[in-house]
Structure formats: C-alpha cells, structure tokens
C-alpha cells in the first residue's frame, strides 16, 4: 500500500472543481492506497464529508509564493509520500519525490491579464512558463484534460507523448430548484457564463450581439459572472457604444444558473483558448443549444453537438448565432446531440483513469 498525497489547495475555485470531483469519485473506488488530501482551512469540512476515508491535512500555503516553495516543501517531506499529485504546475520546485501533475491548459503562458500590473504580470508569466516546462519534465506522468492540451504540452515543454495521459472531465446537472430571473422570464436571450479574462473574448461577443440587435432589437445578452474590474470595463464599453439589452448579472445562485441554462435561446462560448471547455458542456446538460468558438480543444470536446464560428471574426460569430436562433430544427438537433455528447464524459471514469496513472507512476 502506497501513501499518496493529493494537493487540493485550489479546492472551491473554478480550477479546483476538478480536484473536488476527483477526490469524491476516487473515494468511491475505495483504493487500497493511503490517500492524504492537503487543502486550505475553509475546505477541510468539505473533504471530511466528501471523502471521510481519506486523511485531510490543513495546508494554507498560497500558490506561487515563497511559503509554497519552503513551507509546503517541508510539509511534503514530513508526510513522506510515495507519490504526490499536484492539481497544477505551481508546486515546490525543489521537491524530489515522485509526482504526477495535472496541467489544465497553457492559456496563462500566452494571454495577458489587464487587471494586473503589466510589468509584474509579464515577469510572473515568464516564471510560469519556466515552471511549466520544469514541472512537466520532472513529473513521472502528466495529466491533461484533452488531446489538444496533450499535443500542446508536447510541443511547448518538449516531453514525449506517452508521458502525458488524457483524462476527460465531465459536466453535472444542477440539482437545485430552478430560480427564474423575473426580468428575463418570457424573453428571448442568449448567454455566457464565466470569467471575463481576455482569452474569453467577450468584447467580440458584445460586438456580435450589437449586429444581431439590428434585426432582433428585443434580443438580450446575459453575461453571468462575479463582478470585477474586467466585467466593469465591458459594462463601460457597452454604455459608451449605447448597446441595449446587455445584462451583467454578477454572481448567481446554482438555481438561477440552472434556470438561465434551461431558458436561454443559445449558450454562446466565444473563447480563444480552453483546456476542456466545461461551461458549454454544462449548458448542453441542461438542454441549451450551444454556439461555440472553433478554437483549441472545443471541437474535440463538443463534437457535432455545437454550431461553430471563427472567434476572431465578429461577423461569423453573429451569423452562426443568428442561424441557431432562426432555425428551430437546427436548435432542436443541437439540444438532442448535446444530451448525447454529455453522456460521453464521466467523473467516475476520470477518477478510475487517474488511479491508473497513480499506479503506473508508482511503478516507474
């Protein structure tokens, strides 16, 4: 029996959903190994309830910090793990034990974040690129969420393909009771949910929506996500151009999100770069027709269950959205194909594959 430590410090975040689901379904497999989950204080109760047979240890070391490089290093040495699974590249570079690392995508290596200080972000980006390459080479195996990311990592980090294992993620149906949005009830709207980072390409989506409004003045665009400086910048842009019917919802409850998915005329995903593209798959799980960018991994994940556009061409985006809105048969076909596509992915299968990765790494 081996001692395996799972780094779940990002639990409860968008990226951390992967590790939350992994531990939940890994627990159901009842592995013969001793599993230790390290996580920050607010998530201790979550793991004690979700995976009671695993040991949970508090680890409050912030990602990309000196505390991570020194304190977490000391903690891992004390735990005397036979294998550590890191949920992301950020990890103590001096740790020399056996590791498996999940690298979700290389978006941070290529796109800026205008909400951060430019000079500081550029420096961190350079460091991050070096960290990714170093971690990819020293890990016994690397886990990627799509074939696209696997191929991307091969070229970026110069590591052999067999070292990278693809374990697809999955989408869940929201169990909370739907909560209607009164201002949208009975209205025709399209939507996006997620962060407003530059690679999410929301400015072009807003411009495409403005084109659609010339023929559909009653149409609404709903942008779902926690209000921050980037969303505020988009709101200023909308106001400056005088674009009507754009709703910035801010953070919404699970019940409200479910209602939006179930009532939208189309879920639009204009992203320039994704590692898996979970939001579009979630929309499919709730019966929303998906209109998606054809960039990076998205055609791989969505298959024939989405209508695609070039995310760099605003007119093409507007045209494809319009086709889905105007063609009821196409919309129904996308919904049915979406239900089928969602069933292709399984958290249980992902956990089983990951356990196989652990066993392979332990033998190497």
State pLDDT tens for residues 122-164. Answer: 878 888 899 999 999 999 999 999 999 999 999 999 999 999 9
Question: What whole-number distance in Å separates Cα of residue 20 and Cα of residue 60?
Answer: 17
Q: Which helix (H) or strand (E) holds 75?
A: helix 73-79
- The confidence score (pLDDT) of residue 102 equals 98
Structural Rg of the chain based on CA atoms: 21
pLDDT tens-digit readout, 162-210: 999 999 999 999 999 999 999 999 999 999 999 999 999 999 999 999 9
For the question of whether the overall pTM of this predicted structure is more than 0.75, the answer is yes
Question: What whole-number distance in Å separates Cα of residue 345 and Cα of residue 357?
Answer: 18
Residues in the chain: 364
Half-sphere exposure at residue 89, Cβ-oriented, CA atoms within 13 angstroms: 22
Could you give all domains of the chain from N- to C-terminal order, each with its CATH number?
3-170+346-363 (3.40.50.2000), 189-342 (3.40.50.2000)
| Cβ atoms < 10 Å from Cβ of 22 | 24
Residue 309 · residue 293 · CB < 8 Å: yes
pLDDT of 215 higher than 80: yes
| Cβ atoms < 10 Å from Cβ of 114 | 12
Can you tell me the mean pLDDT for 88-96? 93
Closest CA to 108 of 125, 127, 131, 121: 125
- The confidence score (pLDDT) of residue 280 equals 98
- The confidence score (pLDDT) of residue 294 equals 98
Can you tell me the mean pLDDT for 52-63? 96
* Structure confidence at residue 107 as a pLDDT band (50, 70, 90): very high
| Cβ atoms < 10 Å from Cβ of 129 | 17
Can you tell me the mean pLDDT for 35-42? 98
- The confidence score (pLDDT) of residue 322 equals 98
Beta bridge partners of 143: 102, 165
Average pLDDT along the chain = 96
pLDDT of 115 higher than 70: no
Lowest mean pLDDT among 15-19, 28-32, 119-123: 119-123
Can you tell me the mean pLDDT for 306-321? 98
- The confidence score (pLDDT) of residue 112 equals 76
- The confidence score (pLDDT) of residue 64 equals 82
pLDDT tens-digit readout, 270-292: 999 999 999 999 999 999 999 99
| Cβ atoms < 10 Å from Cβ of 25 | 21
Can you tell me the mean pLDDT for 52-80? 95
* Structure confidence at residue 113 as a pLDDT band (50, 70, 90): confident
Closest CA to 72 of 3, 7, 136, 138: 7
Question: What whole-number distance in Å separates Cα of residue 306 and Cα of residue 181?
Answer: 26
Half-sphere exposure at residue 196, Cβ-oriented, CA atoms within 13 angstroms: 25
Question: What whole-number distance in Å separates Cα of residue 167 and Cα of residue 162?
Answer: 13
């Amino acid at each position: 029996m081996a001692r395996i430590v799972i780094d779940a410090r990002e639990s409860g975040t968008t990226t951390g959903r992967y590790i939350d689901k992994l531990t939940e379904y890994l627990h159901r497999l009842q592995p013969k190994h001793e599993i230790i989950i390290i996580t920050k204080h607010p998530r201790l109760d979550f793991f004690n309830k979700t995976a009671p047979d695993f040991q949970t240890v508090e680890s409050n070391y912030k990602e990309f910090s000196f505390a991570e490089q020194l304190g977490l290093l000391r903690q891992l040495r004390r735990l005397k793990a036979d294998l550590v699974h890191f949920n992301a590249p950020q990890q103590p570079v001096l740790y020399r034990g056996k590791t498996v690392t999940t690298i979700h995508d290389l978006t941070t290596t290529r796109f800026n974040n205008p909400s951060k200080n430019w000079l500081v972000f550029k420096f961190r980006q350079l460091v991050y690129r070096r960290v990714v390459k170093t971690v990819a080479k020293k890990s016994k195996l690397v886990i990627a969420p799509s074939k696209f990311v696997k191929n991307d990592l091969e070229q970026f980090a110069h590591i052999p393909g067999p070292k990278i294992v693809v374990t697809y993620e999955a989408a869940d149906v929201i169990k909370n009771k739907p909560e209607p949005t009164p201002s949208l009830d009975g209205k025709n709207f399209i939507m996006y949910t997620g962060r407003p980072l530059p690679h999410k390409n929301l400015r072009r989506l807003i411009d495409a929506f403005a084109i659609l409004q010339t023929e559909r003045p009653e149409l609404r665009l709903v942008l779902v996500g926690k209000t921050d400086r980037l969303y505020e910048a988009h709101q200023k842009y909308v106001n400056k151009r005088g674009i009507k019917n754009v709703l910035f919802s801010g953070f919404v409850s699970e019940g409200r999100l479910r209602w939006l998915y179930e009532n939208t005329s189309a879920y639009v995903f204009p992203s320039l770069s994704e590692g898996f593209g979970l939001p579009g798959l979630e929309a499919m799980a709730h019966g929303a027709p998906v209109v998606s960018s054809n960039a990076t991994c998205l055609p791989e994940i969505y298959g024939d269950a989405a209508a695609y556009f070039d995310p760099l061409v605003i007119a093409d985006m507007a045209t494809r959205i319009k086709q889905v809105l105007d063609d009821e048969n196409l919309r129904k076909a996308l919904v049915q194909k979406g239900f089928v596509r969602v069933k292709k992915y399984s958290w249980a299968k992902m956990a089983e594959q990951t356990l196989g990765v652990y066993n392979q790494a332990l033998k190497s």
